[in-house]
């Protein structure tokens, strides 16, 4: 299900170099419903959300409207089966900028151990890595196409989805061009 963003995206990309961060330090844990129970200091620094913004909030708080709904459906279907999921994600920061990560999500039990038995899942842990520019370009091209198709298939678009569809038509064909807009 599409989530209305809490802020209007600026469409400016922030890199890990910009923030002086290592993506592997961006760690979050959630309960079974995707409510954040832990967010590392580096994650908070990159997202510009503080602890009180994040803890107790749905992880979708950082969902960028550019991201296809299909990506998150695939993630949820996979991790609820007790399987590892990995994928490219464009996240929206509190300051309206965005960043790219490859997210690796695993189901965990009450003690934080990775499990593959759906009956033992108590939550999820997500660890990120910084993607290459080539990986970002590939994800950007695919997601732009898929997201536009998702919106065009809907019978009734919310106002913000109509605006997003117009923006998708105007976005450059390369993510690198968004990075240059900083």
pTM, whole model, 2 decimals?
0.90
Q: Which domains are delineated in the chain?
A: 1-182 (3.30.450.20)
pLDDT in tens, 134-148: 999 999 999 999 999
Per the prediction, the chain carries an average pLDDT of 92
Residue 46: CB partners within 8 Å, gap ≥ 6? 14, 16, 19, 21, 26, 93, 99
Q: Which of 8-22, 67-81, 147-161 has the highest mean pLDDT?
A: 67-81
């Amino acid at each position: 299900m599409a989530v209305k963003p809490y802020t209007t995206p600026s469409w400016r990309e922030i890199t890990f170099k910009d923030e002086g961060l290592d993506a592997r330090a961006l760690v979050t844990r959630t309960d079974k419903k995707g409510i954040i129970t832990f967010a590392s200091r580096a994650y908070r620094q990159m997202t510009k959300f503080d602890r009180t913004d994040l803890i107790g909030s749905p992880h979708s708080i950082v969902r960028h409207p550019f991201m296809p709904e299909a990506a998150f459906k695939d993630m949820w279907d996979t991790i609820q089966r007790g399987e590892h999921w990995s994928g490219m994600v464009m996240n929206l920061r509190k300051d309206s900028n965005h960043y790219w990560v490859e997210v690796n999500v695993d189901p965990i039990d009450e003690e934080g151990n990775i499990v593959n038995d759906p009956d033992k899942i108590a939550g999820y842990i997500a660890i990120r890595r910084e993607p290459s520019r080539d990986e970002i370009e590939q994800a950007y091209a695919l997601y732009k196409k898929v997201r536009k198709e998702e919106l065009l298939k809907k019978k009734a678009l919310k106002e913000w989805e109509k605006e997003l569809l117009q923006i998708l038509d105007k976005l450059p064909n390369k993510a690198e061009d968004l990075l240059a807009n900083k």
